Amino acid sequence: MKKVYISAILATVILSGCGEKQEDSVAETTKSATEQTKAVAEPIAQGIYGAKTQEVTQSVPIEMHAAAEQKGAYQPPAPVAVEVAEVLDFKDAGGYIYIQIQEANGQLLWIAGPKAVVKVGQKVSFAPQMMMQDFPSKALGKTFDRLLFVAAIAPLKDGASTTTAAATKEDDCSNCDTHKAQRAAKDLEQMVKDSSSKVVDEVKNVASTVAAAATEVVDSAAKAVKQVIAKPSGGYTIAELYSKKSDLNGTSVSVAGRVTKVSKGIMGRDWIHIVDDSRDASAGDFTITSPSSNVNVDEVVVVTGKLNTDVDFGYGYFYPVIIENATFSK
């Protein structure tokens, strides 16, 4: 096996480690993620590229999270291959270690990852994760021109192969550490998928509830706007009151309409204005007077009273058609 892919482990760590921006919260979450994934990482490290199991974890450095959040650089990592390099120098910093290596192009590079026991001249394997530029390390009081954060650092045992792992048949060692690790990784990946599915389902349920509520509000509003005001039995529409005003003058009439305005106690009476669907809105409303009214704006009512024409109350109150001494029913 030339490359070791650790996408499932990294995905779990990222989901667990980046929920809080404060360093203390990240450290606590990182510790929990480390314990959950250690059982997977250790046998892989020992069985594949000769790592000391007690020194391998799959946690993500706290400083990596902080810097990534501040600079907006963090993205979930894609599966990466394990790389190998010789330790030229190293510095311990709390629970993490900084190691200087030489790249294939001859340039020197510092990497940072979970603490490991190493020595100068020793070869280590590591899983690259993210490169940072001009990274300030508070723990070391130093700014690195380039710093590569890695998800795991594993010292290689003497004579350990850096290119291939021992071939093992599934049916011959179904309980060996390598296959146990593979099964654990698959279980971990499925657990992440199941968790994501539950979140998606919950979001869909909430969205469906909100959509249903919004539809109900819109439907109610539409009904109110489109409500048809029916002519009362034996009554008239407002348009008919105007067209037949000569014949209806002095008679008791009924008309239905929606109340648009109520003015109480003016010249010893209440003044009510209504509209219906028989005339264009630009034609204005119809005026009614009553000794006492019990109606409110936007209510649909049936008005019964005496129709009079060309009524002049003085002070500019002249009405070609008006219903007076009206009563109301709803």
**Residue 192 has what pLDDT?**
66
Two tokens, residue 9: 């482990």
Residue 234, phi-psi category: left (phi > 0), alpha (psi -120 to 50), beta (remainder): left
Residue 124, phi-psi category: left (phi > 0), alpha (psi -120 to 50), beta (remainder): beta
pLDDT tens, residue by residue, 5-54: 334 334 333 333 333 333 343 344 334 434 443 443 344 333 333 333 33
**Residue 184 has what pLDDT?**
64
Listed in order, the ranges of the chain carrying CATH 2.40.50.140 are: 238-329
Residue 218, CA atoms < 13 Å, CB-side half-sphere: 6
**Residue 257 has what pLDDT?**
95
CATH superfamily of 238-329: Nucleic acid-binding proteins (2.40.50.140)
Place of tokens 């070791």: 4
Three-class HEC string of the chain? CCCCCCHHHHHHHHHHHCCCCCHHHHHHHHHHHHHHHHHHHHHHHHHHHCCCHHHCCCCCCHHHHHHHHHHCCCCCCCCCCCEEEECCEEEEECCEEEEEEECCCCCEEEEEEECCCCCCCCEEEEEEEEEEEEEEECCCCEEEEEEEEEEEEEECCCCCCCCCCCCCCCCCCCCCHHHHHHHHHHHHHHHHHHHHHHHHHHHHHHHHHHHHHHHHHHHHHHHHHHCCCCCCCCCECHHHHHHCHHHHCCCEEEEEEEEEEEEEEECCEEEEEEECCCCCHHHCCEEEEECCCCCCCCCEEEEEEEEEEEEECCCCCEEEEEEEEEEEEC
**Residue 5 has what pLDDT?**
38
Going by C-alpha positions, the residue among 286, 289, 309 that lies closest to residue 229 is 286
Give Cβ neighbours of residue 62 (< 8 Å, ≥ 6 apart). Answer: 23, 26, 27, 30, 96
Least confident interval from 139-153, 167-181, 232-246: 167-181
pLDDT tens, residue by residue, 197-255: 776 777 788 788 888 887 777 666 655 555 678 899 999 999 999 999 999 999 999 99
Report d(CA 27, CA 17) in Å as an integer.
8
First and final C-alpha spacing in the chain: 84
Report d(CA 313, CA 135) in Å as an integer.
87
**Residue 41 has what pLDDT?**
39
Two tokens, residue 303: 């008005």
Report d(CA 127, CA 78) in Å as an integer.
11
pLDDT tens, residue by residue, 118-137: 999 999 999 898 999 999 98
CA angle 316, 317, 323 (to 5 degrees): 165
Other C-beta atoms lying within 10 Å of the C-beta of residue 204: 10
**Does residue 65 surpass a pLDDT of 60?**
no
Strand 108-114 and strand 142-155: the pairing is: parallel
